[in-house]
Structure 1
Amino acid sequence: MAVPDHRVLVPVDVLGGESVPRTVIDVLASVPVVLLGYRELPEQTGTDQARDRYGSRVRAELDELHAVFEDAGCLDVSSRSVFTHDRLKTFERVAVETDCDAILLVNPAPVLERVLVAVRGDVNLEYIARFLGAVLANTDLEVTFLHVADEDERTRRTELLEAAVDELVATGVARERIDTSLVVDGSPTRAILEAAADHDLLVVGESRPSVRRYVFKDRAKRLARETVDPVLVIRGEYLEGTEGAGDEDTAGDESASTDDVEGSDESP
């Protein structure tokens, strides 16, 4: 069976007791996954010191989670571990290095039946739809495309939502599983959070590279903090080089199924 050309980064604070809900694991079974076991450290704590003290424990916890994903039938699971002073910077760097199309920000998900997809604009819409189509391929999840617009944009944005539906249907997702919602609100983040209350997984996409870091570090961070849902951030189709070229990484053994890396991501 061919492995889909999509990949999801799943960062997990294993030392902090964080885990990935089994409902989410089942949904991700149709796409390759990169597990990132991480621990965010206080500025005064050195990454080498933390790795020496906790590295084996992180590796053991990550191996257990790796096995859970494999038992769920995931097509391809790889893993890395890292100690960092800036977790979001690390997520972004590793996503680029491993060619991940999306980053999952973990929250509890006891039930996963309805997915809310916040659409920012028509840029990258086909890319987002292709990714969603791969994730939803073996599920019965219902999807709602949400767009937050100004009053004078209502007609044009209705057409945007219709285009999003068409793109997702083209990937093989049945049209009856897809709904749309157009909200007129001056605060997109607030509107997304209110809509997310009636859904189980929130998907947000980046629209263009010039705003990619702004969206990820600010809006997605707030959404993950203030919603009870897991948040899946679909990256733009712009895998530019990472800013952290000088970060220290120590590679371990590599194989087709596991890429064991214990390293550090030093904040500037």
Structure 2
Amino acid sequence: MPDKPSILVPLRVLEGESIPEGIPELLTNAHVVLLGYHVVPDQTATDQARYQFEDQANRRLDDFSAILEHAGATVESQLVFTHDGQTTIDRVTDERDCLAVLIPNATRPVENVLVAIRGVIGVDRFARLVAGLFATVDVDVTLYHVAGEDETDADMETLLDGVATRLSEDGVSSDAIDIQISREGSPQEMIVDTSDNYDAVVMGESDPSVTTFLFGMTADQVAKQFLGPVFVIQHGELDDAEETDTE
């Protein structure tokens, strides 16, 4: 059985965010790093906010951890009061060696997953995530690629066949793996359009910061329009950045 992939699940823990319906079951085979964070105004010290709200926030995190553990996930939680939520998510993803960040939109029981492959970068992370989550459950996996102008059919087949072979070696049934290629439209637009037929999306971001996805245009195009859970795989090394969190 593949190792449980580490997935960061960020929640604005004091702003009413919770674990949406279907997410515990989706993460049954995951090791969840549950990040509860609260963005503090610049003029307020993070230590002051922690003194006021730490107990309340930790109670909520404990409740969410219990829900995920009941579904089968292993969970470690971390509470952060910060002036910069984006930097915090990047840092914790890097520190905890998470394969991906989950945008935890609600979902029905997952029957099929769209895995949007952009290129050879990050393929190992894609394979570890998909095999770890879905090798032991009855879920269809579609490997999807939007071709660039210079890509030949042979290039695309080599790329996707290689990913399919790796998934099969890692325990995903070959009968559950499908390959789909598109040559029309931008990758973001095509992923949004294609995702309508799926219960969850796995995709990467070429920018080193996963929060470009979480807080930027890609999130609007995919996570908001798709409305289901999106796993965002980070491809590159994070740049060092200063932040003012208190742990």
TM-score bucket (shorter structure):
0.7 to 0.9
3-state DSSP of counterpart to 1:4: coil
For residues 151-190 of structure 1, the aligned pairs below 5 Å read 151-155=149-153, 156-190=155-189
How far does residue 152 in structure 1 lie from its aligned partner after superposition?
4.6
Q: Give 1:125's match in structure 2, choosing from 120, 123, 134.
A: 123
Q: Deviations over 1:30-65 (max 9, x none)?
A: 221111112234444443333232221111111001
Residue number in structure 2 paired with 1:213: 209
- TM-score, normalised by the number of residues in structure 1: 0.80
One-letter amino acid matched to 1:59: N
**Number of equivalent positions:** 243
Displacement of 1:85 after TM fit? 3.1
* Contact preservation (8 Å) 2:148, 2:183: yes
User: How far, CA to CA, are the matches of 1:186 and 1:79 in structure 2?
Assistant: 40
Structure 1 residues 15 and 249: CA distance shift in structure 2, 3 A: closer
**Alpha-carbon spacing, 1:228–1:248, altered in 2? closer, same or farther (3 Å):** closer
TM-score by structure 2 length? 0.87
The offset of 1:7, in angstroms, is: 1.0
Q: CA offset at residue 220 of structure 1? A: 4.5
Deviations 1:230-261 (A, max 9, x none): 1111223x5557423x53433xxxxxxxxxxx
Please give the alpha-carbon distance, in whole angstroms, between the structure 1 residues aligned to 2:190 and 2:39: 30
1:195 CA drift (Å): 1.0
- 1:22, CA displacement in angstroms? 4.6
Following the alignment from structure 1 to structure 2, what is the Cα–Cα distance between the partners of residues 44 and 248?
A: 14
**Residue in structure 2 matched with residue 65 of structure 1 by the alignment:** 64
What does residue range 36-115 of structure 1 map to in structure 2 within 5 Å? 36-74=35-73, 76-115=74-113
Cα distance between partner residues in 2 of 1:231 and 1:87: 19
Contact kept in structure 2, 1:27 and 1:139, CA below 8 Å? no
The answer to whether the 8 A contact 2:35-2:77 is kept is: yes
Asked whether 1:199 is paired with 2:195, we answer no
Q: Deviation digits for residues 94-145 of structure 1, max 9, x if unmatched?
A: 1111121111112111332211111010123133212211111332111111
Counterparts in 2 of 1:88 and 1:248: CA distance versus 1, 3 Å: closer
Identical columns (%):
36
Distance 1:18 1:248, change over 3 A: closer
Q: Which of 131, 134, 137 is 2:132 aligned to?
A: 134
Distance 2:171 2:135 in 1: 8
The gaps in structure 1 that reach 5 residues or longer are: 251-268
| Counterpart-to-counterpart distance in 2, 1:197 and 1:5 | 27
